[in-house]
Amino acid sequence: MKTIDDLGDLRGKRVLVRSDLNVPLDGTTITDDGRVRAAVPTIRRLVDAGARVVVIAHLGRPKGAPEGKYSLAPVAARLGELLGTPVRLAEDVVGTSARETVAGLTDGEVALLENIRFDPRETSKVDAERSSLADDLAQLADAYVSDGFGVVHRKQASVYDIAKKLPSAVGGLVLSEVEALRRATEKPERPYAVVLGGSKVSDKLGVISNLLGKADRLLIGGGMVFTFLAAQGHPVGKSLLEEDQVETVKGYLAAAQAKGVEIVLPTDIVVADSFAADSPHDVVAADSIPAGRIGLDIGPESAELFRSKLLDARTIVWNGPMGVFEFPAFAAGTRAVAQALVDAGAQGAFSIVGGGDSAAAVRLLDFDEAAFGHISTGGGASLEFLEGKTLPGVAVLSSGRARD
């Protein structure tokens, strides 16, 4: 992949940067600015090079038309604070405001186009429609930099098609993400342990299938663990259960045994009366969850078990929390896994926190992000990489199809 260095002298050049600024909002307040902060180094590098920077991003899932609640206005303000320079927000995607905003930039200034998904062509399944939007975007710039790892698994106009229209390069964030994930998947230092959590087994079927041939250990927690427990014949009460995946999980358990991959499941579970922060709760054996109760975290014995399975690992990938970490009463399992990664890292292990809720948990629970080998900004993209899938936004930069 070509890097920013390969684009040559950028002073006075208009550079489109596809960033991932899809942050959680409470009204107009950003509750976790991790993705904005992650986007800053590449944008700042372009600013320092004298480029006229035009940032493209999305927020939420608008239905191909402007929606006030999905405006990037709060993001533009926060990005400007982090950069230490105002960020001009265009009022549209590629319309009059966008053209005038870009035309008004001087060297080293930054503009942000309004939510790219306000234009239905961005996510169209029709190649010609996406290409049409990419043509409009290309009229605004002289070069393109792909730096939104959270979207590189999408074949979208601002991710894939635009790279065919302009001299293109990979940004520092995407480059570091790909290098970290390759380190964990192509020739991982062993023992190689993978911790999977989150709500659903179905979200991670491809990852589990692929890793059964690569990892030494799979540690399973979060809501998805109850489908594993059910596959072993244990009751799960009112806990989250994907009944249609029980047979699939049975197959995974058998395959793991045949391949010598260790599957580590919780031995105890924190169960509650209901899904609520203040719900009465206690700890029960994982194979004896009472009817009418719901599992919301792995138990303390399990936390110690998971820790012991991680401390001697040399490569660790973690994707998905162990429980409802947003509720303090059910955050202990997630905290324990995070601390185990930190402690393993202090002993030389390389760890990846696989984006999404895991990355949010690291920040919410006040861990030092520098204590982890790599914190991914792309939950879906990192999962698809771990599945062994081709990421269109990376492939187009690697295949020679991107315009030189």
Residue 191 has pLDDT above 60, yes or no: yes
- Annotated ligand binding at 21? The verdict is yes
What is the Cα Rg of the chain in Å? 22
* 328-351 mean pLDDT: 98
Q: What is the pLDDT of residue 357?
A: 86
Domain regions of the chain by residue span = 4-175, 188-387
- Annotated ligand binding at 355? The verdict is yes
- Annotated ligand binding at 119? The verdict is no
* 87-95 mean pLDDT: 98
- Annotated ligand binding at 273? The verdict is no
Is beta strand 52-56 parallel, antiparallel or unpaired with respect to 110-112? parallel
Cα distances (angstroms) measured from residue 120 to each of 91, 113, 161, 350: 16, 15, 14, 41
- Annotated ligand binding at 59? The verdict is yes
- Annotated ligand binding at 117? The verdict is yes
Catalytic residue among 45, 200, 314, 363: 200
- Annotated ligand binding at 221? The verdict is no
- Cα–Cα dist 58/144, whole Å: 17
68 catalytic residue (yes or no): no
- Cα–Cα dist 401/234, whole Å: 52
Q: What is the pLDDT of residue 200?
A: 85
356 catalytic residue (yes or no): yes
Catalytic residue among 13, 14, 35, 238: 35
The 3-state DSSP class for residue 207 equals helix
- Contact between 204 and 354 (Cβ < 8 Å): no
- Annotated ligand binding at 345? The verdict is no
- Exposure of 363 in the CB half-sphere (CA atoms within 13 A): 14
Q: What is the pLDDT of residue 133?
A: 98
Interacting residues of 46 by C-beta distance below 8 A, sequence separation 6+: 4, 10, 15, 17, 53, 145
- Cα–Cα dist 236/242, whole Å: 11
Max CA separation in the chain (angstroms): 67
Residue 298 has pLDDT above 50, yes or no: yes
Q: What is the pLDDT of residue 402?
A: 52
- Annotated ligand binding at 357? The verdict is yes
Q: What is the pLDDT of residue 347?
A: 96
- Cα–Cα dist 148/89, whole Å: 18
Instruction: Kindly report, residue by residue over 119-171, the tens digit of the pLDDT.
Output: 999 999 999 999 999 999 999 999 999 999 999 999 999 999 999 999 999 99
Q: What is the pLDDT of residue 108?
A: 98
Which of the listed CATH numbers 1.10.10.60, 3.40.50.150, 3.60.21.10, 3.40.50.1260 matches domain 4-175? 3.40.50.1260
Instruction: Kindly report, residue by residue over 216-251, the tens digit of the pLDDT.
Output: 999 999 999 999 999 999 999 999 999 999 999 999
The 3-state DSSP class for residue 348 equals coil
What value does the mean pLDDT of the chain take? 95
171 catalytic residue (yes or no): no
Which one-letter DSSP state was computed for residue 237?
Answer: T
- Annotated ligand binding at 61? The verdict is yes
Instruction: Kindly report, residue by residue over 369-391, the tens digit of the pLDDT.
Output: 999 999 998 888 988 898 889 99
Q: What is the pLDDT of residue 401?
A: 43
Tokens representing residue 110 in the block: 């930054």
CB-count exposure of residue 343 (10 Å: 0-12, 13-18, 19+): middle
At position 163, the amino acid (one-letter code) is A
Catalytic residue among 197, 354, 373, 380: 380
Phi, then psi, of 387 in degrees rounded to 5:
-75, -15
Catalytic residue among 171, 356, 373, 393: 356
Which of the listed CATH numbers 3.40.50.1260, 3.30.930.10, 3.40.50.10170, 3.40.50.720 matches domain 188-387? 3.40.50.1260
Do 188-387 and 4-175 fall under one CATH topology?
yes
200 catalytic residue (yes or no): yes
Tokens representing residue 243 in the block: 């009944």
pLDDT band of 193, cuts 50, 70, 90: very high
- Annotated ligand binding at 20? The verdict is yes
Q: What is the pLDDT of residue 192?
A: 97
The pTM assigned to this predicted structure is: 0.89
Q: What is the pLDDT of residue 348?
A: 96
- Contact between 279 and 210 (Cβ < 8 Å): no
